[in-house]
Chain A
């Protein structure tokens, strides 16, 4: 095959090894920046690396694999597995299809574990069935739409015929060194090309955080080319890397890619993902009042095309989201939030006597705010109702227990809602927030009642208002403004926690149980307990969690609800009953209880909660990034 040298054999073996390693490296480079469960992100500069696995490349140790072509790559299980398979073949071509999969809007992330299914049994030589990375099998495939956005073809053209012509001169000229150098150069350009192609943008988006996207990337590796339709082919551009000649053939690498791929991804993304992100990054609490005006201006335009705004990339655009959805965010930690949407009447707020709350100046302030807020609310109730209309209202409303509330919040945040929908409801929310501040303590206790009230009928505005207030009482509002004044910041938390505290007080064990039941419960509780201020992360985590598990949660909610209710103290039950029967009566009761709770709660407790919450968040993030 090759050269006239005496050491032809060994040289041939070396050459083959170089070729083999070239395949391996190429595959590694491509998958590393396309396979989702591996983060290719390096922590660099100010860029945010959300995926925990990102920094692996920075490790100083040099593995033997890294020395090949002097290119140290991050771990990429997908690549390693596939290359192991490939090694059994005889330098067969490798075809890597990168596929954009659009998920149905209401897909269930919970059923989407990052599990890899590799048909190990089938060998490459048999034209092994595609080795799909992960997702493919697990998703409900029926509803998905797939599009190949990149096809990499890596092959070794054995050049015997060609070699025979220029034979000795050529082959002898191509030293192993040259081959190695050239393939090294080729791999360098492959490395940067992979990052320039539109698919990388999608990959980056998917990988940059644990957000849930309506699309994902999968890759298929096979040894034969499944031809494109003519139309598909027309859409694609081809980039052929200059082949590297070897003594007996040449290494060829080319890619066909869809130039519009990034647009494909961004279209569906924009409406949904931003909300989630927003919650994540932004701190809506910072200036709840101000957000409102901004929403119409910045929020919408930026949503449309995040990619087109260089300045608004990532954080910035998320920030916009943030603004727009901020009200929702604030509410999210507490289930009551959803209730707030339903916007209760002001009457209840008035009912809540400041006295009932712990005698704190903050509450007074809250009350004042409530009053103002109420006015705003009244006009808006219709909006909120409409929003709920789209949702399974009954379930949401019913899920009143603390855990339940969270899910409700989730629902509102869930992708199913378009941003616009969000925006509409948000104004009422803003109003409600203010009002809610006063009520925060109440909300926990009353929450259940509120739900029932809602379910019972919309006829009774007063009931609603009471409920709302409690709902609104969500930690954000109450903490930031009202409580802060009276207490130190730390104490502010107590207001929020009150609901939880109550649970704790009544039945500590029950709470523990709820934890065991699942992350959901934890997330919910945590969210409810912690003041937004302190735990943005926590709030984010909750959101993420909730979103991922939204559908199942609702179901769970009912159960959780029961559990929680059971766990609740008698007072709680009483409250509920009373609320159902006599909505107005509820108010005082809840108030008192909340007051007690508030006093008992300590910052230490809050901190503890916070930590547990954090753990959860990290867990979620890890999981999310793997997805």
Chain B
């Protein structure tokens, strides 16, 4: 089942390349992504709310080296898989409308991308994970370099080399883990436990790769280039899914494998996350280009997720997982909307717009909802995740929580600022008049509507997601052991006690 899910898009890519006409390619690509989405939905009926890996597949891949083709999904990866399979058909539908040049290649690369990303989310063998992880670079670099805007080649090379160099040391760490444990299997290594000295070094190597992917300040410099230069569908996938690979890596590999190192470095990484939140938000505030604004907002939002993860408690981590999904949905939607605007007017500068509410009300309505979701308005999805993250952070360090909260305020500021500049005010520029600027068509509404409905659904009933996320998060070792940070605040009786610390829980096998 998971193999079908992972490789269905790749099969689609081959079929798309072979298809004779562009219109057939469009339908095939869209059909492949929808089919993948349907397959991924089939995970839900059989889902058990347990911490263990489910739908596991395990075959020998390189028997001589004890490397397995090992896939599985748990509460942490489930929603990320669904996020990927949902965003893909939307991104493909958008591209079908707008990509003119070499459509077949574009769609095939998108589908290859999907296989790579799903592989990362599902792989339970370190080598298999590394293969998918690195493979995901190729299609993305091509998408940026071939179909991006003016500065695309520079952005593509920077993206590729930056992330490639970042993960080089991770390979050494993987080999070192194998040297110690005799296996590349994540679950087996997790069970065996690693000596603290190895944990420190291996964590640093893994963390570098993940921090670049997230991107965590100060490793974020590739992101604005890549996001701004990428074609719209590329940006949607880059922001919506690819950045999650980094935070997912922290959750899936760093936390379970290196609990000692993680608690040692938690404060440092939290500080970097907070710097990222504030820096990203402030830079976003200063942008004139709408796409750059969204790109920098990603730096801030991803900082939030990292902050939640390194709170190292159940609320923080569950909130982070939820927020990964939320950020994928809302930033994906933001990039889509910027793309829709750009396709009409071929400018992304906010000062070229203004007063659009008068000419394109439907667009502005959606833009408002999406911006509010991104800003974390209560009732919408962003709020739930941010709230849980801040709650978790507060429990481990109130100071971090206060600083993080200021990021929420800044987010509301720059998003409302963007909305005001684009939608409100007087409609002065004749190019934006109603007869020149068509409103959203049904196809575009169809792309946005599923996302917007999910904003509300998650915002109002987050437990549907959290019930599946929580068991896996609660089973993480770092959540169960008392942490250095908590001990520091142990004498403050006014702080809420952290229940699951005292509750002995079963470990994952």
Q: Is this pair of chains taken from one and the same complex?
A: no
Question: Which residues of chain A have a CB within 8 Å of any CB of chain B?
Answer: none
